């Protein structure tokens, strides 16, 4: 068996086979995989190199806000990276305030020069899109996380179907509310497509299928707890027949406190997101009806596996299907 046969089977030149087998570098991951696979298939009598000898250097860029979701997500990424093994990858983490997209874009550009892959939580901003384009030009794969970046230069997106989550919340709330009344929507950052899509899905389905319920204006507190408390206070004073609350982001503690002050706790159907200590307590008290959890562990597992599949084997995932995460619904019966 000769190197020429390997080259023919892999569909590459002899020089490429030489670079791969002698670990000279400069060959795309998918080509390396193809050459090594061809060498195995024809039974080349020599010790073949590993697809890579050093662990892949992966950068994870997440929000630094104090919500449970991002704290748990960071922990799950660390645990999954440890499970995959230090010989396979090294995970670097950076936490960036959500209000600093230009800084995040700069960090993405810098990471493209030192890392082999990036996993990024970001919102749609020109500087972010430009930084991702630079990554693509350098051949650095990027996976967007949680909130979508349509049209961005990325390998794929990992996250739940946010529109579907909002529609699911509306369907469940509408079925639980039989009397006419008002429903209040509380949203997180409007810059993030995740929150916009949840609200869009919720509003669309509730309006069409449950006309006896009237939607009040969206309270967009931009993930600021003090702002949320003030907006809630105003809305609860004005609302005479509040039947439901749907919260897409953080602030469940503030919502509970506001409802208690106005003696409306446990008097309306309250649906929110994520399963953590606060939502568990509120469900146990019969204050929150249910919560839609994004499943942080599956986010971490999918994102790391997809980027490793690409780096090691050249497997290109489907932009959305490969990274779709299944959200879960918890009530007091299965979440406490």
Q: What is the pLDDT of residue 42?
A: 80
Do residue 270 and residue 203 come from a single domain?
yes
Distance CA(161)–CA(147), nearest Å, equals: 10
Q: Give the integer Cα–Cα distance in Å for 91 and 182.
A: 47
Is 236 within 8 Å of 265 (Cβ atoms)?
no
Residue 14: what pLDDT?
86
Evaluate whether residue 235 is within a structural domain.
Answer: yes
pLDDT value at position 1? 59
Predicted pLDDT of residue 136: 95
pLDDT for the residue numbered 86: 66
Tens-digit pLDDT profile for the chain (336 aa)?
578 888 888 898 888 888 787 766 667 777 888 888 888 888 877 766 665 567 899 999 999 987 889 999 999 999 999 888 767 889 999 999 988 999 999 999 999 999 999 999 999 999 999 999 999 999 999 999 999 999 999 999 999 999 999 999 999 999 999 999 999 999 977 778 889 999 999 999 999 999 999 999 898 877 778 888 888 888 888 877 899 999 998 889 999 999 999 888 899 999 999 999 999 999 999 999 999 999 999 999 999 999 999 998 889 999 999 999 999 999 999 987
Q: pTM for the full model?
A: 0.80
What's the CA gap between 186 and 164, in Å, rounded? 17
Tell me, yes or no, whether 51 lies in a domain. Answer: no
Do 245 and 221 have their domain in common?
A: yes
**According to the model, what pLDDT value does residue 25 have?**
62
Domain count, the chain: 3
Q: Identify whether the C-beta of residue 155 lies closer than 8 Å to the C-beta of residue 279.
A: no
199: in domain: yes
pLDDT for the residue numbered 66:
79
Q: Is residue 94 part of a domain?
A: yes
With respect to residue 335, please indicate whether it lies within any of the assigned structural domains. Answer: no
Q: Given CA atoms 144, 146, 152, 156 in this order, what sign does their dihedral have?
A: positive
CATH code, 143: 3.40.50.2300
pLDDT of residue 239: 78
Containing domain of residue 171, as a range? 162-293
Q: What is the pLDDT of residue 229?
A: 86
Residue 302 and residue 287 share a domain = no
Measured distance CA(208)–CA(173) in Å, rounded? 13
């Amino acid at each position: 068996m000769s190197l020429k046969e390997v080259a023919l089977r892999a569909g590459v030149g002899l020089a490429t086979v030489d670079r791969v087998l002698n670990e000279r570098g400069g060959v795309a991951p998918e080509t390396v995989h193809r050459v090594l696979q061809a060498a195995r298939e024809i039974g080349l009598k020599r010790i073949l190199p590993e697809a890579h000898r050093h662990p892949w250097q992966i950068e994870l860029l997440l929000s630094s806000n104090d919500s449970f979701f991002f704290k748990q997500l960071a922990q799950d990424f660390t645990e999954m990276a440890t499970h995959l093994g230090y010989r396979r990858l090294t995970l670097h983490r950076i936490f960036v305030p959500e209000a600093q997209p230009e800084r995040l874009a700069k960090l993405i550009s810098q990471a493209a020069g030192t890392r082999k892959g990036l996993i990024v939580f970001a919102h749609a901003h020109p500087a972010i899109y430009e930084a991702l384009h630079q990554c693509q030009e350098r051949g650095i794969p990027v996976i967007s996380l949680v909130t979508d970046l349509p049209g961005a230069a990325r390998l794929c997106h990992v996250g739940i179907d946010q529109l579907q989550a909002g529609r699911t919340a509306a369907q469940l709330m509408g079925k639980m509310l039989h009397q006419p009344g008002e429903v209040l929507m509380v949203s997180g950052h409007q810059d993030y497509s995740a929150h916009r899509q949840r609200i869009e899905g919720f509003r669309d389905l509730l309006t069409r299928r449950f006309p006896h319920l009237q939607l009040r204006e969206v309270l967009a507190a931009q993930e600021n707890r003090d702002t949320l408390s003030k907006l809630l206070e105003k809305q609860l004073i004005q609302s005479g027949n509040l039947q439901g609350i749907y919260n897409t982001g953080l602030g469940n503690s503030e919502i509970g406190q506001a409802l208690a002050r106005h003696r409306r706790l446990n008097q309306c159907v309250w649906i929110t997101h994520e399963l953590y200590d606060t939502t568990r307590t509120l469900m146990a008290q019969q204050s929150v009806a249910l919560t839609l959890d994004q499943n942080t562990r599956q986010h971490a597992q999918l994102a790391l596996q997809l980027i490793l599949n690409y780096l090691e084997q050249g497997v290109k995932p489907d932009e959305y299907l490969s990274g779709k995460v299944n959200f879960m619904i918890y009530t007091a019966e299965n979440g406490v």
